[in-house]
């Protein structure tokens, strides 16, 4: 949430939802932004959109994580199409969720670099898969058929493997 110093604290339910699913935001930011600063900015944009949409969230229509993924992915994909906007300070109660994780392993950093080369929808597919979501769940979030998800993931694994192997071969 972007807030002035005198703004009220976020509702407890929203803050709890963000705290419980901060890795979701961090992974999407890491997959769609290259630098640490850009990842923080994207995570903040995602939080802002989640905050704005929170009053309209209907648990009977979608799971919380499905709703969060849809918003986060839409923000991430939209961020690729527009120049960066200036940001106001993030509410301290939510600041921890806007700190995307830095890869702590060289192989993980290679994977994120390879994922960053994919088209936006393909990145979303891979991120959801890495989160451990089922093909049915990924299909629900992205509005694709379940068999389409399985086919695309199979092809994307091969593409990522080839890209990682080609960068390893180039660095030798």
Is 64 in contact with 21 (CB distance < 8 Å)?
yes
Q: What is the pLDDT of residue 1?
A: 41
Give just the sign of the alpha carbon dihedral 36, 38, 41, 47.
negative
CA distance 168 to 49: 38
Is 50 in contact with 72 (CB distance < 8 Å)?
yes
CA distance 30 to 105: 14
The per-residue pLDDT for range 48-83, each reduced to its tens digit, is 999 999 998 888 988 899 899 999 999 998 888 766
Sorted by where each starts, the structural domains of the chain and their CATH numbers stand as 1-102 (1.10.1740.10), 103-172 (1.10.10.10)
Structure tokens at 116: 């960053």
The percent of residues above 90 in pLDDT, for the chain, comes to 23
In which band, very low, low, confident or very high, does the pLDDT at 105 lie, cut at 50, 70 and 90? Answer: confident
pTM, to two decimals:
0.59
Measured in residues, the chain has a length of: 172
Question: What b/e readout covers 14-36, taking b as 16+ CB neighbours within 10 angstroms?
Answer: bbebbeebbebbbbbbbbbbeee
**Model confidence at 151: pLDDT above 90:** yes
**Model confidence at 132: pLDDT above 80:** yes
With a CB cutoff of 8 Å and minimum separation 6, the contacts of 30 are 39, 100, 101, 103, 112
In which band, very low, low, confident or very high, does the pLDDT at 96 lie, cut at 50, 70 and 90? Answer: very low
Which is more confident, 6 or 155?
Answer: 155
Structure tokens at 34: 């290259």
């Amino acid at each position: 949430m972007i807030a002035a110093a005198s703004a009220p604290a976020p509702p407890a339910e929203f803050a709890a939802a963000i705290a419980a699913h901060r890795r979701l935001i961090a992974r999407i930011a890491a997959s769609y932004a290259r630098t640490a600063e850009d990842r923080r900015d994207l995570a903040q944009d995602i939080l802002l959109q989640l905050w704005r949409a929170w009053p309209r969230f209907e648990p009977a229509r979608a799971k919380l994580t499905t709703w969060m993924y849809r918003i986060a992915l839409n923000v991430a994909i939209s961020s690729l199409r527009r120049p960066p906007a200036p940001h106001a300070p993030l509410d301290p109660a939510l600041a921890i969720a806007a700190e995307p994780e830095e890869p702590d392993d060289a192989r993980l950093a290679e994977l994120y670099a390879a994922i960053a080369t994919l088209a936006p929808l393909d990145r979303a597919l891979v991120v959801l898969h890495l989160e451990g979501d089922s093909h049915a769940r990924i299909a629900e979030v992205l509005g694709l058929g379940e068999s389409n998800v399985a086919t695309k993931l199979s092809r994307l694994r091969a593409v990522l493997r080839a890209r990682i192997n080609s960068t390893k071969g180039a660095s030798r």
